A = this chain, B = another copy of it.
């Protein structure tokens, strides 16, 4: 099956840490041939890799001391030894690479090419103490695509907590109902309190100014995946971060994950008062990466492999302070002038489409560099991987795979562009 073929190839390149050019040289085929094996099976130019090549790749991995491409049960469960996912700090590079491979295994299920029933009968308690429709639906869809049942609780209050119930009691009781608990909460550290009471996996869906690890994981997964299509590696890449780098927790978490790789260059642009906190800059530099502070968005994005833009949260500022930032805006003219043709343009969403918003312009929709929707799409595969790793079923997912009988569009959005026109 061609999906396996793609997974095998991408997995091998990643494990051997080779670009497409390097990898095609190593297996002694033309780059164009390798590309044709990597195209989705349904596409026009897709070709099947010969079985001898498959065997060769197995030998290459074996010689390099790397295991086979299929996912095997993890040596230690969960994320850095815990089944709770609270922080990106739970990942080292090996852990992150395993996680990315698990997310790859989830792709055909997230992309609705196949269904799996591995979590049939399992129950997710989705606890959202503040509204976050996108995150709630993404976690919910991920659990449902694994065959499980989702029970949502939304709104600012949990009725029993309003009567003085402790987080301990609330979490312990829910642990008796559910197989996994996703918590979104406005207070930093509160999700860790939930985790402290429960032996059932508690997964942080954002705790105020704290962490939002599933977002950071889908961000890095997107970079890794799109780079692999483009024949690039994260090692040595140039990443630009733009916008509110002070309050945007997603850029902080992403910077931490990226710093697990080698020799990156970060170019940062933020309006005054919204600069990246010094401790993050120092942490990244301490790992040997280059960090440049830029004077304009254009300076930061020039030559970048990936641009990560964030919304400026005007609602957090006084009107006077907010007014200063209204000239920050990334529009089509700016990216045409400054962003390389094979770069990615990312954003955690939502982007503000209101007139004069200090944000990535919502007029940019079909530019192939715009990765924001593919990024959101990847959230499903990444959150599926979070569940299967937390519940130790990653290696079982493909066993109950069945083709999807219903209509699935070739692209989800009416204006979607593929990564590069000739890919």
| Chain A residues close to B by CB (< 8 Å) | 77, 83, 112, 115-123, 125, 131-134, 136-138, 140-141, 144-145, 147, 149-153, 157-161, 163-166, 168-170, 172-179, 196-201, 311, 315, 349-354, 357, 359, 362, 365, 373, 376-377, 379-380, 390-393, 396, 402, 404-416
Contact = CB atoms under 8 A, between A and B. Distances in A.
Given A125-B137, A160-B349, A164-B353, 9 more contacts: A112-B122, A118-B405, A134-B160, A138-B177, A140-B151, A160-B350, A164-B357, A169-B362, A197-B414
A311 B365 CA distance: 44
B177 A409 contact: no
A370 to B, nearest CB: 11
Given A169-B351, A405-B118, A413 B137 contact: no
Most B Cβ at <10 Å: residue of A120, A150, A151 = A151
A165 B406 contact: no
Nearest to A147: B121
Most B Cβ at <10 Å: residue of A120, A158, A163, A176 = A176
A137 B177 contact: yes
Contact of A166 (B112, B311, B362): B362
> Which are the 7 A-B pairs with shortest beta-carbon distances?
A115-B121, A199-B409, A165-B350, A164-B352, A131-B159, A160-B350, A166-B353
Contacts of A415: 197
Given A118-B406, A133-B158, A151-B140, A169 B125 contact: no
B169 A353 contact: yes
Contacts of A174: 137
Given A141-B123, A145-B121, A407-B83, A352 B165 contact: yes
Most B Cβ at <10 Å: residue of A83, A393, A409 = A409
Contacts of A157: 131
Contacts of A349: 160, 165, 169, 173
B119 A406 contact: yes
A394 to B, nearest CB: 10
A132 to B, nearest CB: 6
B120 A133 contact: no
Most B Cβ at <10 Å: residue of A159, A166, A411 = A159
B165 A351 contact: yes
Nearest to A396: B405
B412 A172 contact: yes
Given A119-B406, A350-B163, A362-B166, A151 B153 contact: no
A83 B198 CA distance: 36
Most B Cβ at <10 Å: residue of A132, A133, A414 = A133
A138 B199 CA distance: 18
